[in-house]
Amino acid sequence: MAPSWLTSSWLRVRTLAVVALLTASLTACGQQPERAKTPTPATDMTAYDRMLSLLYKHTVPVVQPAELAATLQKSPRSVLLLDTRTPEEYQVSHLRGARFVHYDQYQQFDLSGISRTRPVVVYCTVGARSEQVGAWLRQQGFRDVRNLYGGIFQWMNDGQQVVDAQGPTTNVHPYSLLWRPWLKTGNPVYK
């Protein structure tokens, strides 16, 4: 029997690992990727920003963690939060109020009863999987879909709170050992 980490997502992990290694090497050499679309001036870009600029296809607008946190603080139910990771990742922790949408089955997610005008924010570990789900939601007629910039990692790195079934926690599932270095705060937990 194959190890649990060897799933249909393994090819995605390998591809993303190559991107992460390429980003790290570009950062080490002080070079900026040609196609980088910077959220801040190039001199302020972190290695994480550089990696994300290579991963994101820019099919869904992003929302910064601080902006989302402020919106949720003012009106917690104003935004539909969709966690687009795996069940194991979601069980370790998620954003308060987020609904789970299994990434490997997102096209089967029941959209009935959700207004196409309701603001939606999707997120995953770093934002690559959620961007794909967000693009699909836009194809389904949702007008205001955003991808959480940097995913749950950036959310945690920026000092925002996550929860599990018992309440607030510092645990975060890092998806894989290859992604773990990008999580600067929180307790990495693999389930």
Catalytic residue among 124, 148, 156, 162: 124
**Token couple for 78:** 């104003």
Token pair for residue 12? Answer: 């995605």
Tell me the residue type at 43.
T
The CA distance from 166 to 182, in Å, is 26
Amino acid identity for residue 189 in this structure: V
DSSP one-letter code for 116: T
Indicate if 124 belongs to the active site: yes
* Separation CA 45–CA 113 (nearest Å): 40
DSSP letter assigned to residue 80: E
Instruction: Go through 57-79 and write b for each residue having 16 or more CB atoms within 10 A of its CB, e for each that does not.
Output: eeebebbbbeebbeebeeeeeeb
Tokens 């591809």 identify what position? 15
User: In whole angstroms, how far apart are CA 150 and each of 29, 48, 131, 154, 188?
Assistant: 23, 8, 11, 5, 16
Pairing of β 167-169 and β 171-172: unpaired
Give me the active site residues, please: 124
